[in-house]
Amino acid sequence: MLKIAWRKEYAHPLPENHRFPMEKYELLPGQLLYEGTVSESNFFSPELLSEEDILAIHKEEYWQKLKNLSLSRKEERRTGFPLSAALVERERIINQGTIDAANYALEFGVAMNIAGGTHHAFTDRGEGFCLLNDIAIAAHYLLKNSKAKKVLVVDLDVHQGNGTAEIFQDNPNVFTFSMHGKGNYPMHKETSDLDIELEDKTDDKTYLNILKETLPKLIDEQEPDFIFFQSGVDVLATDKLGRLGMSIAGCKERDKVVFELCYKNEIPVVASMGGGYSEKIAHIIEAHANTYRLAQDIYF
């Protein structure tokens, strides 16, 4: 069964006209249920992530600032969210969701987190709507508990996975691959194990050709026994923060390439949602929903 991490806390209240589309965390599960892609039994509710798992990745000083709500105004602005106890609790729930999804993926081949993909969270700070790095925390959990020996991060959000790159820069057991907009945020890029930078307005054909040429080789070379897929849909031409030129159909084909490679190679995969900032919320939901439809179709 396709297991999906979700709790109502994912849809955290934000100030009016905030640019982050928090409503997608209610609309997406609702859409998947409405169309019959999944049923209530597919969803599970993660609990709070432990401090031990947080401190395995993030620095004590940063975590204490988060926990005690003592980030400076500049540090808070950098995250993009107003800091509150409820927000920190939400982040801990989402991050535990990715760990739980990883365990389900070991059992069923694939699992999903309705949120997550928080790849701009560094060891010592949050940025870009990311406070704790769920992919890094879950990857460390798998390695520490001997549930994986080599992890591949496939980050296909339009923005570079800069925090993930920084966290794992000296870890040979995690290979970070980020394919992202060259001229987009973050202006200062970190160095992933493999970075592919895309020009503005890159179309479906160009994007998919690069991915189909790169990812199979990477899997053959690295021989990962677990993959984390950051499946941000901000690659769409309609995205306000994206600058690429992809269609919803092209984005769906992207996800299909990833899932079919994981399925064929029998590598468990967890997909975390990542970004999506199209003007019309329907475009965001449709593109995200395709990721779930494909996982359901390919694996079950």
Please tell me the number of Cα atoms within 13 Å of 139 on its side-chain side. 31
Q: What is the pLDDT of residues 210-251, one digit of tens each?
A: 999 999 999 999 999 999 999 999 999 999 999 999 999 999
Nearest to 155 by CA among 202, 197, 205: 197
Across the range 48-66, mean pLDDT stands at: 98
- Asked if residue 82 has a cis previous peptide bond (ω within 30° of 0), the answer is no
Q: What is the pLDDT of residues 145-172, one digit of tens each?
A: 999 999 999 999 999 999 999 999 999 9
* Cα 260–Cα 261–Cα 267 angle in degrees, nearest 5: 110
Write down the pLDDT at residue 178. 98
Across the range 179-191, mean pLDDT stands at: 94
* Phi, psi dihedrals of residue 7, rounded to the nearest 5°: -145, 155
Write down the pLDDT at residue 215. 98
Q: What is the pTM of this model?
A: 0.97
* Percent with pLDDT over 70 in the chain: 100
